[in-house]
Amino acid sequence: MTDTATLTSVSEPNEHGYRSFQLGGFTFDRDEHFVHIEWPTGRHVTPVEDFLKALMRDIAWNFFYGTVNFDSVIGTVNHYGNVDLFAGRFNDAYRKAELDHMENFDHDVIMGAFKDMLSDWTNDGFDPFAAPQETGSPYGVKHGDNEAAITRTRVTAQRMVGLPGDEKIRTDETHPINRMFADVDQSEPTIEVEPGYENDVASFNLFAYLSRSDVTWNPSIVSVCKESLYCPTTEEFILPIIHGNDRVEWFLQLSDEITWRVEDRETGAPRATVVMKAGDVAAMPADIRHQGYSSKRSMLLVWENGSAELPDLIATGQAPTVPVTW
Amino acid sequence: MSDTAPQYTTVFASLENFEKGGVDVINDDPKNYVFSNVFEVASHAKPYEKIAVAKNMQYVLEAIRAEGTSEWRATPHDEFALVLDGEVTIELFDPDETLVDPEASGSVAVDGDPAGKPMGQVVAGQGHMTMLPAGRCYRFTSDRPSVILLQTIDGPDTQHRWADICLS
């Protein structure tokens, strides 16, 4: 891995209308169908739809917890202030062939480059946050943009959604009910508050809130108990990235069903398939990576421990990779 | 081809109707996934037992079978109660004196009825999330078996029954 790289550049539009980007030793080009990535020891090609969906999550999640694999070759590792960009680092064949490559960037440098790339390469009508049946095509020569779709911010409640001054509940005016959640009960809890306790007596319909989500695979914080974060999300089709954990992560399936393919975090070797139905709870250990498949739009409660100390504790063996033993 | 838009049914589970998934191992130990089902856990629980179904260091998620009226509890930090099945009335109370060490983890039972002022109450149904604020007291009432998922910290009354509730 090289030291922190700062070299970034942007080209004039190519014959397809898209700019090319350089990040240290990496170059990123797109044409009508594909993204082409080159680094000093190799090259990679991937469909532009898959790449933009992954890029959207990496940006929206601020590089998330641990590793965001765009696919089996390309991805990022979050060090919370700086970020590794890699090719083949978590691919056993690339590692053995010594074709893998990784460079470290200041957070703001790589975030800025990624945002510019997403902005330039997202055409009018394509929403990389949306389910496949709810968006237009990303393909073809450059035509317009979709800044409104790609600049939506992730919900991050400070205490709980619905409290005065915190994130607001969703309504018909702001978030129509999704087509796959038209049957979800929208009734709100009955709340009686004594004078003076308006900031402390609070409740909201989480299922109704989720039924109105206009994005998929985008965990957003709705309640906070110190470093314990409820990050529910609505899922349809395939998680556009393969998430490599740097800490234990928990899933509670609130509705419907998701199948998770679980692989070894370092090599990508298959480890298990986890099928989760409503009410099921499962941990994702800190040494795996996972990708979810949801046939019908479903509600998933992602539960995170946001402690900044956890990655080092686990990496140094001071904390286990599994949450519980018996 | 039909022009009719498809109708979708959202599947929520309940105490009376749940179906478990599972772990198909390729090269792993199924215990690593600590896999359980909240409704199955609650179906075997006594009213208001606090059974951990997820744990991440000091933090836990507890499955609670709500049935009848619980004891009053005091919490040193915010907790969040998500009703997953049934209907639960949640009473909130502002005690005259500190009933739990603010630096402690998890709620503690209160002897009898606390002295102080009522703050209000919430009647919460399936999918409703209610804050149980730090430094205050609460109790639950449910006329029929219901299920609460509690976001909290491992406390003196948290029960760990991993061998009984998880796939292995």
**Residue B16: inside a domain, yes or no?**
no
A97-110 burial code (b ≥16 CB/10 A, e <16):
eebbbbbbbeeebb
What integer pLDDT is reported at residue B105 of this predicted model? Answer: 98
Domain that holds residue B112: 30-165
**Total number of domains constituting chain B:** 1
Query: Do A229 and A303 meet the contact criterion of CB atoms below 8 Å apart?
Result: yes
Tell me the CATH class for A179-214+216-315. Answer: mainly beta
For the record, the structure tokens of A324 come out as: 């519980």
Q: Is A172 on the interface with B (CB under 8 A)?
A: no
CA angle A101, A104, A109 (to 5 degrees): 125
Q: Pairing between strand A101-106 and A270-277? A: unpaired
Of A181, A222, A279, the CB nearest to B37: A279
pLDDT at A155: 87
Domain assignment present for B10:
no
Q: Tell me, what's the pLDDT at A19? A: 96
- pLDDT of B7 > 70? The answer is yes
Query: At A311, which helix (H) or strand (E)?
Result: helix A310-315
Q: What's residue A206's pLDDT?
A: 98
Backbone angles phi, psi at B151, to 5 degrees: -90, 115
B164 touching A, CB under 8 A?
A: no
B122 Cβ under 8 Å from any chain A Cβ: yes
Minimal Cα–Cα distance from B103 to chain A, Å? 12
Give the pLDDT score at A153: 81
Give the separation between CA A63 and CA A288, rounded to whole angstroms. 17
Per-residue pLDDT of chain A (326 residues; tens, 9 = 90+): 544 556 678 889 999 999 999 999 999 999 999 999 999 999 999 999 999 999 999 999 999 999 999 999 999 999 999 999 999 999 999 999 999 999 999 999 999 999 999 999 999 999 999 999 999 999 999 999 999 999 988 889 999 999 999 999 999 999 999 999 999 999 999 999 999 999 999 999 999 999 999 999 999 999 999 999 999 999 999 999 999 999 999 999 999 999 999 999 999 999 999 999 999 999 999 999 999 999 999 999 999 999 999 999 999 999 999 999 99
The rounded mean pLDDT for chain B is 97
Contact check, Cβ <8 Å, A205/B128: yes
What are the residue ranges of CATH 2.60.120.10 in chain A? 179-214+216-315
B136 contacts A281? CB cut-off 8 A = no
Tell me whether A169 touches chain B (CB under 8 Å): no
CA separation for the pair A184, A149 (Å, rounded): 25
* B28 in reach of chain A (CB within 8 A): yes
Q: Residue B64 falls within a domain, yes or no?
A: yes
Q: Do A226 and B8 touch (CB under 8 A)?
A: no
pLDDT in tens, B96-132: 999 999 999 999 999 999 999 999 999 999 999 999 9
8 Å CB contact of B121 and A271: no
Domain contains B9: no
Nearest to residue B64, comparing CAs of B86, B31, B32, B92? B86
**Of B46, B59, B38, nearest in space to B155 by CA:** B59
Measured in degrees and rounded to the nearest 5, phi and psi for residue A222 equal: -115, -20
- Asked whether the beta carbons of A286 and A315 are under 8 A apart, the reply is no
- Average pLDDT, integer, range B22-35: 98
DSSP one-letter string for A262-274: EEETTT--EEEEE
Residue B123: give its domain's CATH number.
2.60.120.10
Across the range B28-56, mean pLDDT stands at 98
* CB within 8 Å of chain B, chain A residues 206-235: 206-208, 211, 222-228, 230
User: Concatenated DSSP letters for A94-128?
Assistant: HHHTT--EEEEEEHHHHHHHHHHHHHHHPPTT--T
Best probe of the A interface among B39, B44, B56, by most A CBs < 10 A, is B56
The tens digit of pLDDT for each residue in B62-92 reads 999 999 999 999 999 999 999 999 999 999 9
- What tokens were used for A194? 């004594």
Of B23, B77, B136, the CB nearest to A225: B77
* Neighbour-count burial for A241-280, b at 16+ CB within 10 Å, e otherwise: bbbbbbbbbbbbbbbbbbebbbbbbbebeebbbbbbbbbb
**Can you give the pLDDT at residue A5?**
57
pLDDT of residue A8: 76
pLDDT for residue B46 is more than 90: yes
Geometric angle at alpha carbon A293, from A290 and A294, rounded to 5°: 140
> Beta strand A257-264 with A288-305: parallel, antiparallel or unpaired?
antiparallel
- DSSP code, position A221: B
Q: Which of B18, B34, B92, B152 to mutate to test the interface with A (most CBs of A within 10 A)?
A: B34
DSSP string over A156-213: B-SSBTTSTTSPPPP-TTT-PPPGGGTTS--PPPEEEE-TT-TTT--EEEHHHHHHT-
- Rounded to whole angstroms, how far apart are CA atoms B8 and B78? 36
40-99 in B: which are within 8 Å (CB) of A?
40, 53-57, 59, 61, 77-80, 82, 84, 90, 92, 94
Q: CA nearest B162 in A: which residue?
A: A326
With respect to residue B67, please indicate whether it lies within any of the assigned structural domains: yes
ipTM value of the model? 0.97
